[in-house]
Chain A
Amino acid sequence: MCCLVTARVRRLRCSCSSSIRDAAHVAHGVRNGNDSLTPLAQTTIMAVEFDGGVVIGADSRTTTGAYIANRVTDKLTPIHERIFCCRSGSAADTQAISDAVTYQLGFHSIELDEPPLVQTAANLFREMCYRYREELMAGIIVAGWDKRRGGQVYTVPVGGMLTRQPVSVGGSGSSYIYGYVDSNYRAHMSKEECLQFTAQALSLAMERDGSSGGVVRLAVISEHGVERRVVAGNQLPSFSAI
């Protein structure tokens, strides 16, 4: 109950703070990295838990304004052996955050002398995204497998909220597939079903969202390790005849 309230409060803060942020930056003459020429991974990212691991997926388009700077981007970034993050938002910001968290998590893991928890990684992301929320534009989904709780998906959207969800979508293309995901997600799907579900959801988003496209990158993280796949543009599932 209280987390719903805090989420709403944070969302309100987010909407008015952006105008305050713009005003402050005009006054100080500091350019925020959000003008139309920053490479943005306005994107579609997704992660699904299944029994024994997680399936994560992303499109592969990075845009600078209307130009596609990289049409084969890899937005699924390894943070640790069995923990990945899906990046959306400003490419520079998310790469910098991922690098910082990779270092912190690696150090923590060496200190503990055991593999880190996905929750720890998610909290490190949240710490950074919340503390520097005025300067950063980053929407991140953290997903992985650990021995204590199995496959987990945590989402850290713009603003720095942290919440665990069985299935999470993010990025600009996610708006188009909330209906599809809500109606087609079932608990206790198998690994193959999850892969199919993710690939189809991402294809639908890429079809409708101009800022998402290219290939679909998928990864399965489980106790046995990480398995990566790429679905090329001409092999994507197609839905409508129009």
Chain B
Amino acid sequence: MALSHVFETPVSGFNFENSTRNILLENVLDEGKTKAPKPLKTGTTIAGVVYKNGVVLGADTRATSSEVVADKTCAKIHYIAPNIYCCGAGTAADTEKTTDLLSSNLTIFSMNSGRNPRVVMAANILQDILFRYRGMIGANLILGGVDCTGNHLYRVGPFGSMDKVPYLAMGSGDLAAMGILEDRFKVNMEVEEAKTLVCDAIHAGIMTDLGSGNNIDLCIITRRGVDYIRPYQESEYKQRRQEKYKYKPGTTPVLTENIVPLELELVHEMVQTMETA
């Protein structure tokens, strides 16, 4: 079946080449003592709201590796198309790569058909990819955007289920964020009200969930364009560095210097003219 958004049609079944590669690498390095790095789970709060003139997406910026914060300024709102952005929760690598793949496919589609992509198409392609892998790809995504048919917000689950909803929260902090959204959501809100609502929802997630924290990013998508505010609200608990940690050149004393010239022998010389037409 010819698809307008991919060059090669996907082969049926799973592609576990990377798993076999990882096992081979583990065996080669230190005879199995070094393990492959554990997948980084983002432990997240993400939320989205449809308002009068578009969609507001919000996310926190903490990426955790077990109990350590690995990244304090992780970008969880990914670009899909000029009018479509996607928040991702779950395994960081999976959300990154899936959204990258989706973005590339939609660009191919735009070039092939001459049309701007629609949010429902992005959601359908995501659903196809994730269902094919039967939950192995740990990506929980909130897809939001504005197209010629209106303002849309979709949730796509890791097993390939899709829901179209007016407001949404996902990630480990979703229960707290959902409480705020259920309480204060109204249809056809104004932009400032929508921004405050999403910000408060993410804030609730940050306060109640250990896996969410640091700054709040917002992305406001309208017909006229996208306003990606990063960060919208900085963490109140940020500390400034007490000292400068840059070292002046000469701080480390040089004890000895040993210069070894490399003896290179010219073995073979060949001149090839280039055709510059």
Q: Tell me, in angstroms, the Cα distance from A205 to B203 when the chains sit together.
A: 38
- Nearest CB of chain A from residue B240's CB, rounded to whole Å: 39
- Given known pairs A39-B157, A67-B175, the reply for A95 and B135 (CB within 8 Å) is no
Chain A residues contacting B161 (CB-CB under 8 Å) are 38-39, 62, 90-92, 95
- Given known pairs A31-B134, A31-B135, A95-B127, the reply for A70 and B157 (CB within 8 Å) is no
Contact with B along A60-79 (1 / 0, CB 8 A): 00101001011011000000
A242 at the B interface (CB under 8 A): no
A96 at the B interface (CB under 8 A): yes
B185 at the A interface (CB under 8 A): no
Q: Do A96 and B127 have beta carbons less than 8 Å apart? A: yes
Q: Do B163 and A92 have beta carbons less than 8 Å apart? A: no
Q: Do B136 and A92 have beta carbons less than 8 Å apart? A: no
Chain A residues contacting B124 (CB-CB under 8 Å) are 99
- Given known pairs A67-B175, A92-B131, A95-B127, the reply for A38 and B163 (CB within 8 Å) is no
Interface centre among B127, B135, B161 (most CB of A within 10 A): B161
Q: Tell me, in angstroms, the Cα distance from A135 to B160 when the chains sit together.
A: 14
Cβ-Cβ contact count across A and B, 8 Å cutoff: 50
B23 at the A interface (CB under 8 A): no
Chain A residues contacting B135 (CB-CB under 8 Å) are 31, 33, 38
Q: Do B165 and A92 have beta carbons less than 8 Å apart? A: no
CB closest residue in chain A, given B156: A92
Interface majority SS (helix, strand, loop, mixed), chain A: mixed
Contact with B along A40-56 (1 / 0, CB 8 A): 00000000000000000
Chain A residues contacting B85 (CB-CB under 8 Å) are none
Interface range on chain B (Cβ under 8 Å from partner): 10 to 19
Chain A residues contacting B134 (CB-CB under 8 Å) are 30-33, 135
CB closest residue in chain A, given B134: A33
Chain B residues contacting A67 (CB-CB under 8 Å) are 175
CB closest residue in chain A, given B164: A74
Contact with A along B142-180 (1 / 0, CB 8 A): 000000000000010101111101000000000100000
Q: Tell me, in angstroms, the Cα distance from A31 to B159 when the chains sit together.
A: 11
Chain B residues contacting A64 (CB-CB under 8 Å) are 157
Chain B residues contacting A72 (CB-CB under 8 Å) are 165
Q: Which of B93-119 contact A (CB under 8 A)?
A: none
- Given known pairs A31-B135, A92-B131, A96-B131, the reply for A70 and B163 (CB within 8 Å) is yes
Q: Do B165 and A38 have beta carbons less than 8 Å apart? A: no
Q: Do B163 and A90 have beta carbons less than 8 Å apart? A: no
Q: Tell me, in angstroms, the Cα distance from A33 to B137 when the chains sit together.
A: 12
What is B's interface to A at a CB cutoff of 8 Å?
124, 127, 130-131, 134-136, 155, 157, 159-163, 165, 175
Given A69-B155, A93-B159, 14 further pairs, Cβ under 8 A: A31-B134, A31-B136, A33-B134, A33-B159, A38-B161, A62-B161, A69-B157, A91-B159, A92-B127, A92-B157, A92-B159, A92-B161, A96-B127, A135-B134
Q: Which 9 A/B pairs are nearest by Cβ-Cβ distance?
A: A91-B161, A92-B159, A92-B160, A92-B161, A70-B163, A39-B161, A96-B131, A38-B159, A33-B159
